Amino acid sequence: MGFDACGIAEATALTDDELHLRPWLAEGCHADMGYMAEHVDMRYDPRMLLPGARSVISVLLGYKPSQRMEGKAKIAQYAYGQDYHERVKGMLFQLIAAIRKEYPDFETKPCVDTVPISDRAWAVRAGLGWRGRNTLLVNPELGSYCYIGELVTTYSSDQYDIPMENGCGNCHRCVEACPNSCLVPLENGDYWNDARRCASYHTIENRAETLPDEVRLSGYAFGCDCCQLVCPYNIKAATRYQLSDSDKDRLEQLADADEATFKKATRHMALNRIKYAQWKRNISF
């Protein structure tokens, strides 16, 4: 189907060591993202999402671009091209159709970041990478530049994949590179992202007319890549998306676009997650 990696995990409930969600919520690190506090039990247990679920098939699709944006309104690299929700979900439906040619009664629920399931935690359990100090999934070949999707299914597997060992070692580049110190160390050695400090949260999820004075956006108007740019795995990762000079220019010209142009240009991009007023707020901050 074109995915870069695939793994299968048994659909039993995640633990707090795998997901971190309940303690993260208890500390208020979700800021005003109230939806993160909804369906918490379902986020831990996919059997509540699909009754009778026995397996979670996780897939990765790399997105490292051939070049990066410049200028006064940078966009996180995952949002350069087509909205990943549309792209990955379309590929998942193709995968379902292919599986059903062999197993006509294959029952499944496709997931791409829009249902209450933890993409990262299931990819880790399926042996596709580990949870890096930047709190993102890190794959040895793709780094953290990868989209994640799942098929939660009632089918079982003869053999489930084994989780990888954490490959970050003593590297703390991502933690040191964060302009807002939003990667917070935990007692067990893990890290979590305090959204109240995160530039990505403030440029996308924060709908207020103004942003806190102490937040540093580092030139980003949508998302932030500061913690990813310094990761050794991302530096050596192969290019998976060809960003042409003309498309790069088009993205950079959005900094001066009027509302109608912005809406038309971003209709099928992840960038349509924010409204034009937020876009202009972020640029002028």
Spell out the domain ranges in the chain.
5-277
Query: What pLDDT sits at residue 166?
Result: 96
113 is catalytic: yes
Alpha helices in the chain (DSSP H): 16-19, 21-26, 40-44, 84-102, 119-125, 173-177, 199-204, 226-229, 232-236, 245-253, 259-265, 276-284
Write down the catalytic residue from 4, 113, 161, 190. Answer: 113
DSSP bridge pairs for 131: 137
pLDDT tens for each residue of 51-108: 999 999 999 999 999 999 998 899 999 999 999 999 999 999 999 999 999 999 999 9
Q: Is the predicted pLDDT of residue 128 greater than 90, yes or no?
A: yes
pLDDT tens for each residue of 143-167: 999 999 999 999 999 999 999 999 9
pLDDT tens for each residue of 18-48: 999 999 999 999 999 999 999 999 999 999 9
